Amino acid sequence: MLKRTRQILFLLILVVALPLASGASEAKHAAKDGKKPAILLVTFGTSVASAQTAFANIEQQVRKAYPDTEIRWAYTSKMIRKKLAKEGKILDSPEIALARLMDEGYPKVVMQSLHMIPGQEFHEIYTNGKLFSQMSGGFEQVQVSLPLLANDAAMDKTLDIVAARIVPTERQPGEAVVLMGHGTHHPSDAIYSALMLKAQKMDANMYVATVEGAPAFDEVKADLVKKGIKKAYLIPLMTVAGDHARNDMAGDEPDSWKSRLKQVGVESVPVLKGLAEFDPIVDLWLENLQTAMARMQ
């Protein structure tokens, strides 16, 4: 009886193991079908049609750098994906986009974060992206490339580009520049304070403020009043000039930055362009992408 039981168990193991071995063989074969690594551009997203100019510019530059590479998009914002779906525009989450690429047999993927800082969303795509490479039959490799303001040098380069290429040339001495960051409850929010320090060292009338973090806009507004500044250029420190830029920054509502500055006698000049509309800024993301592509084994 014991011998017969062992024989049955052995047969059961074979029944289970053979399909698994076959699946592993198929996955291995798919990984060697000659496909190059794919690039997945990951952003928070936007539902503002005019803001898509920034995304179009990024894609154009990436395709120029990698002409024979499959390039896909993913939005991390569920709210924006749902809103766009009602308009007939289907955007994948990073996880769905990765699943599609895996199902299509791409062996390797580079996920390029188009966020400003390595905050909560960046860490989520990093964690989930790596899990896809740990799946049985999953990707051979997943690289997650850094967002824009990921280190000290990147902050310096970004501020240099903002000062040289984005601040309007008609700005006069004594007029301020206020960069609007989003802000976050993640510890990486400290990057905005570090950027503020750098901005002030570069130009005493250049400021960084955030919608939901620190430095707070009220702090900057108080300093403008204290200095007697009468005019300020408002520039979104964001990938696109989306809802925050058009409403929270430049809107006509009483709580917008423009309206709150007007209440204290400061004229505002909003610059409604996302950072990704400027090629030198996109080049910084491309540098990060090139580093990640080079890590592909």
| Half-sphere exposure (Cβ direction) of 198: Cα atoms closer than 13 Å | 20
Cβ atoms of 55 and 73 within 8 Å: the answer is: yes
In 3D, which of 197, 201, 206, 204 has the Cα closest to residue 167?
206
> How many Å apart are CA 53 and CA 167, to the nearest integer?
19
Residue 4 CB burial class (10 angstroms; 0-12, 13-18, ≥19): exposed
Q: Please indicate whether residue 244 is annotated as part of the active site.
A: no
Q: Return the number of other C-beta atoms located less than 10 Å from residue 272's C-beta.
A: 16
CB 208 within 8 A of CB 149: no
Looking up tokens 């902050």 gives: 155
Out of 29, 115, 123, 182, which one is annotated catalytic? 182
- Residue 102 phi, psi dihedral angles, 5° rounding: -65, -45
Beta strands per DSSP E along 91-200: 108-113, 141-145, 176-181
Residues marked active site are found at 182
